[in-house]
Structures are given as C-alpha cells and as structure tokens.
Amino acid sequence: MTSDGYAHLVRNREFRALWAGSALGVAAATVAGLGLGTLVYAQTGSPLLAAATMFGPSLVQLAGASTLMSAADTLRPRHALVAVCAAGAITLVLQAALPLDPGARLPVALAGAFVAALGNGVRWGLLAEVLPGGQYALARSAMNVSVGVMQVVGFAVGGSLLLLLDTGQVLWVAAVLAALAVPVTWCGLGDRPARRAGRTGLRETWHGNRLLLGLPSTRPLLVALTVPNGLVAGCEALFVPYAGDAAAALFVAGAAGMLAGDVAVGRFLDRARRRAAARWLRWWLALPFLFFALGPGVPLAAVLAGCACLGYAATLAQQELLVELTPPHLSGQVLGAESAARATCQGLGALAAGAVAEVVAPGHTIALLAAVSLIVSAALTPALVRATGPRPRGGGHRGGPVPATTTAITTTTTRSA
C-alpha cells in the first residue's frame, strides 16, 4: 500500500487547485459535448456531424501537441493555465451566445480543443513539480478518478438539463463551469518560473518531439499509452449501436471499472507492484471485449465492459515511468504530447469503429478492435521490457543526470484516467 493516501494530496494547496481546475474543465466539456451533439443532430439529422462535433475535438489535440506544446515548459505555469481556462470558457460562450450553424460550431469546438492540449501539458508537467516524485502515480490516480466522476456526473447532469432547458441554456451552464476554473487556478497555484528558457513555437516543439520519439526508452511507452487504449475506446464507441437504449448501463459499468482500477493501483500498490500489475493490466484492457463476438446480453456485456476498463489503470505505472525517463525540462511537453496523442487515438478509434460497424455487426467489430489492440500490445512487449527493466544508477531518472542523447537541447535552453 502507498504510504500516503488521497487525503495527504488534498492538503497540498497547489494540487487542490490543479484537481479542481481539471474537474471543472472536464465537467464543462462533458456537458458542452452532450449539448452540442444534441443541437447539431437536431439541426442536421446527421449522426456523422453529431459525432464529429462530440468526438472531433479529441482529434485536434495532436495538432496542438505537434505545434505549440513547447509552451508547456517555456511559459510560467500559472499564467499559461489561466489563459487556457479563459480560452476554453470563451469558446463555450461563443457556442452559447451566437446563433452558429453546424458548419461554424465545429471549428469553434476544434479551436478550444487545440488550446486545451497545451493546458494538459502544463497541468501534467506542473503536477510532477508540486508533489514528490514518489507520489506522481497516486496524484494521477486522483486526477483520473475526478475525470471519471466528472464525466459520469457531466453526462447525467447534462442529460437532465436537456430535459429542462434548451440547448443554448445548457451551453451557458457549461461556460459557467469552465469560467469557474479561472479564479480557482489563479488563486490556488504559486507563481512558479518556466521549467526552461527558450522560444515557444513550431520549431522548438518539433525539436523536443523528435528528441523524445528518438529515445528508445520513451518511444515504446508513448505508443503503449496511446494506440492500444485508442482501439479499446473504439470498442466503447459502439456501446450505443450494440445495446441501444440500454447503452448507459455499459457506459456506467465502464466508468466504474476505470475508477476502481485507478483507485486500486494508484492508492493501494507501491511502485514495484504498480509496474508488475501494469504488465498484465494492459492485456486485460482488451481481453474481455473479445467475448462481445458471442453477442452477450446487456447485463453480461456491462460486466465485461466494467472488467475490461480495470485495465486502464496500467497507464498509471506507464506514466510514472515516463516521468522518470523524461528530462525534467521537457516533462510538460512529453506529458502533454502523451495526453494529446492518447485523446487523438481514442477519437480515431471511435471513428474507425463506426466505419467498420457500417458493414460488420457491432459485437463483432468490438471483438475485432480488441484483437487488434492485443496484437499491438504483443508487438510492443519486447521494447517495453527493455524500457521498464533495471537502469544504470543515476541514468534516466528525473533527479539524475540528463542522458547523453538529451544534451543537444540543453545548449539552447537553460510533468490523469
């Protein structure tokens, strides 16, 4: 069991601000996504446009990670996060206040997601600073729990509000939630300096991304954190075609499984046990979805979904190791890139699942995506074994010397469910 629990984290003022700001942002995005999807579908009758409005923003996050993610380490964290929260609130105000047609609503949503990608990099990099390194996995577990809870609450509250209010008023509720994150972030965070000096821009971002993708330690971890999870997200995207009006039971079971896994792995396992658990949890994430090929009824399908989503907890150990292997001055960039790439792969997985399900039964498509996820996990195993194996003392740790392959960048410059 970890030596300190969630109560210890909450006593840290900056962690409270990061947690609350993230929770408000997720709640706002969930309520807004449901409202926008409903509004666009009502205006167009197109499931594709509705899905693009709801899931399209996750695809654009990779663009943010590929262009301006260097700002996650070269800007003052408090100022950057406040600006990102304000930008998110402004985009929702535009959605609520203006009579936009569906063709205009999608670019506004994409612009908000582009900026949000930068905020993720700043948030996760700062999280690695405000808490001791040994508490990072516990902190990400707590953040993941808040994301899961806020998604469940956001969908439930958003669905209830749509029965009582029109979609414009629901979007105003989302905008208020997003705006509340601005004072919470500004008042709760200390004014820390940027992690490194340097110019923010495309060239700097690409330089750092090439460096991180070139390291044999971080590259397989980044792929393992994004591609298999994205394929499983595709499985979840087919819950509605598979279960119809009863799909909510599968979504709730999946969210409950994810929360249980994050709490168990982040709160009750130490570092060594987390990494041992991650070795089989990453396989478990896809395995139960194979049984959807047999067409289980809704109760059994919900049990399978809940059991499978326990496997998402493997990311805690992988993210913890990624923090250790990343040069400290690039922690915000790599964690932001990982978050954006994971969201993008989940969006692509959802779109791929929908495309395949046009010609293949939803249950068989779910099983197919799960099988591909397992194949990818198998292909990554040798590289992950090398990356997670014992390392020479003093090499590759956040507190130790920067590896020789990272010295080039130091000449021009001076770390979530």
Tokens of 105: 């609503």
Task: Report if pTM > 0.75.
Answer: no
Encode pLDDT of 189-208 as tens digits.
Answer: 888 887 766 555 556 555 66
C-alpha distances out from residue 8 to 3, 13, 339, Å: 10, 11, 25
Residues 228-242 have a mean pLDDT of 86
Residue type present at position 403? P
Encode pLDDT of 374-403 as tens digits.
Answer: 999 999 888 877 766 655 444 444 443 333
Residues 6 or more apart whose Cβ sits within 8 Å of residue 392? none
DSSP H stretches of helix in 131-246 = 136-164, 167-188, 202-214, 218-237, 239-243
pLDDT confidence of residue 400: 39
Determine contact, residues 4/135, Cβ cutoff 8 Å.
yes
- DSSP H or E run through 12: none
Angle at 250 between CA 155 and CA 221, to 5 degrees: 85
Q: Read off the pLDDT band of 71 (50, 70, 90).
A: low
pLDDT confidence of residue 387: 66
Residues 6 or more apart whose Cβ sits within 8 Å of residue 379? none
39-48, 117-126, 134-143, range with the lowest pLDDT: 39-48
- Indicate the fold that domain 6-388 takes in CATH: Growth Hormone; Chain: A; (1.20.1250)
Angle at 55 between CA 49 and CA 57, to 5 degrees: 105
Determine contact, residues 70/191, Cβ cutoff 8 Å.
no
| Average pLDDT of the chain to the nearest whole number | 78
**Residue 231: alpha-carbon gap to chain centroid:** 14
Residues 6 or more apart whose Cβ sits within 8 Å of residue 63? 114, 117
Residues 1-5 have a mean pLDDT of 51
- Among residues 123, 129, 121, 321, which one has the least CA distance to residue 208? 121
More confident residue, 313 or 335: 313
Q: Read off the pLDDT band of 48 (50, 70, 90).
A: low
Q: What is the radius of gyration, based on Cα positions, of the chain?
A: 20
pLDDT confidence of residue 366: 93
